[in-house]
Amino acid sequence: MPYRIFRCSSGFQGRERSRFTISAMGNRSSALLIVDVQVGLVELMSANVQRSALPKIKTLLTKARASGIPVIYIQHDGPKGHPLETHTKGWEIYPSLKPADGEHVIRKRESDSFFGTTLQQELGKRGITNLIVAGGMTEYCVDTTCRRATSLGYDVTLASDAHLTRDNQVLTAADIIAHHNFVLDDFSAGEHAVRVKPTDEIAF
C-alpha cells in the first residue's frame, strides 16, 4: 500500500509555503549553533562522513567569525561509560573545530539543546532570532534542537551538508542525513520555520 507524505507541522507543502519560508528568514540577527562536535562523537563517524561534514562545519565557523556573528557551541555531558563522558578526552570539542577565545560553550544532558540549559537566555541577551545549525548527531540532537527552536520562536537554517551521523541497523548515514534534510525543510511552528540549505548557499 503506498504512503502519502503529510507534514503536520506546516499544514501544507508547496510554493506558497516556500516563499513564506524564504522571506521569513531574511534580515534578522543570527548566530551559528555548533552542536556536539566532540571527540567521542566524531570518532564514531565513518571516515567518509568525517571527510564530508567536518570541512563544511569549519567553513561555517570561518564565515561566521569573519562576519562577526556570534558562535555558540553545545557540549553534551555524557554519563560514565558514554563516548561523551564528562571531563574525558571524548567529551572535549574536536580540535580542528574548537571554540575561539570568547565563544560561548553551553553544556547539556539531553538531545534538546534548550532543555535544562541557558541557551535561550544567551540568545536573548544577543538579540538572536535566527539560528544556523550544524553538528551531530543528525537524528538526535540536531533534529530535536531544530524542531524545538521553531516552537520557541526562532527561525532555523540547517546546513544540509554540515551535520553528521553513522549507519544504524536500518539506514546508512547518508540515508539518515538525506531523510532529515527532507523532513526538516519547511518544518514550522506558527510563523517560525526550518530552512535547509547547503553550506555554500548560507549567507552571513
Place of cell 518544518: 187
| DSSP per-residue letters across 142-167 | IHHHHHHHHHTT-EEEEEEEEEE---
Task: Give the Cα separation of 184 and 30 in Å (integer).
Answer: 19
Residue 13 CA to chain centroid, in angstroms? 22
Q: Which of 64, 74, 141, 146 is catalytic?
A: 141
Under 8 Å between Cβ of 161 and 202: no
Place of cell 531574511: 26
**Residues near 112 by Cβ (< 8 Å), separated by ≥ 6?**
141, 144, 145, 148
Q: Would residue 141 show up in a list of annotated catalytic residues for this protein?
A: yes
Task: Give the Cα separation of 169 and 185 in Å (integer).
Answer: 25
Task: Give the Cα separation of 96 and 75 in Å (integer).
Answer: 15
Residues serving a catalytic function are 141
